[in-house]
Amino acid sequence: MVISFEEVANATVQVIRGTSRGSGFHLFRPDLVVTNQHVLDMGSGDIVVASEDETTAKAKVLAFSAVDDDDFAILKLNKKLAIPRTVLQPGSGVPGRGIDLVFAGFPHGISDLLVQRACAAGPFRDRGFYLDGSINDGNSGGPVVDLVSGLALGIVTERRFLGGPDLEQLAEAASAIAERIGGVDTSTQISVGGVNFASVAASTSEALELLSQAVSENANVGIGIAYSIDFVVEECRKLGLAT
């Protein structure tokens, strides 16, 4: 049975905690939602789950794994979201290269739900598989579904962006400039040829921080990483949430 994009959309939710915005999906039951633990760690306070029609419910964490381990969280909703909802069932194992997949989520934390096509590009260590698809911040926690069987095979977990370390160094340099400027006596202006170098340094620091943020948010090489659904299934069975 080929699953439709609309069915995948109806299985997908936005997971909100403070300023953090990620994605999630129903698995096994309509009151259960799976997401990434790092989506929760990046925010604080109540966890809110929202469907595409903006129906919301609060959620509590039933189980989770460390971000540097399997990076999943299993949530239980305090009420049902608006129907119809698709409840996904899990597959198992890593899909072979070239298998047609569908993933869904709220990229960049926008309120619009996007469902996109991808294919399995290869295994990722012992954690899951690479996706040949346009993965962005905000997609984290969303489902990766086999287009033919309709089974959930993974959780969108990472965007493979190789420039990350370089941008971190750029951000650190900008912060160092800002810190030094903060210690400058602003009552004394250092000017050469009419140029106030303290002001120039402050503007440079601000520009570097904005550049780092803009490149990080918009850079996309079309490669993502999905962690295997097997880790979640194992935990759900331990909790008696799945047979």
Model confidence band, residue 182 (pLDDT cutoffs 50, 70, 90):
low
Cis bond before residue 84 (omega within 30° of 0):
yes
- Tokens 């040829």 identify what position? 193
Q: How far is CA 66 from CA 124, 134, 202, in A?
A: 18, 25, 38
The pLDDT of residue 28 is 97
Q: Summarize the confidence of residues 113-135 as an average pLDDT.
A: 94
Q: In sequence order, what are the beta bridge partners of 129?
A: 123, 226
In words, the CATH class of domain 5-161+220-238 is: mainly beta
* Domain boundaries, given as residue ranges, for the chain: 5-161+220-238, 164-218
Whether residue 115 contacts residue 30, with contact meaning beta carbons closer than 8 Å, is answered with: no
Answer whether residue 217 shows pLDDT above 60.
no
130-159: pLDDT as tens digits: 999 888 889 999 999 999 999 999 999 998
Tell me the pLDDT band of 7, cut-offs 50, 70 and 90: very high
117 in Cβ contact with 222 (< 8 Å): no
CB 52 within 8 A of CB 9: yes
Question: Average pLDDT over the chain, rounded to whole?
Answer: 86
CA distance 1 to 125: 30
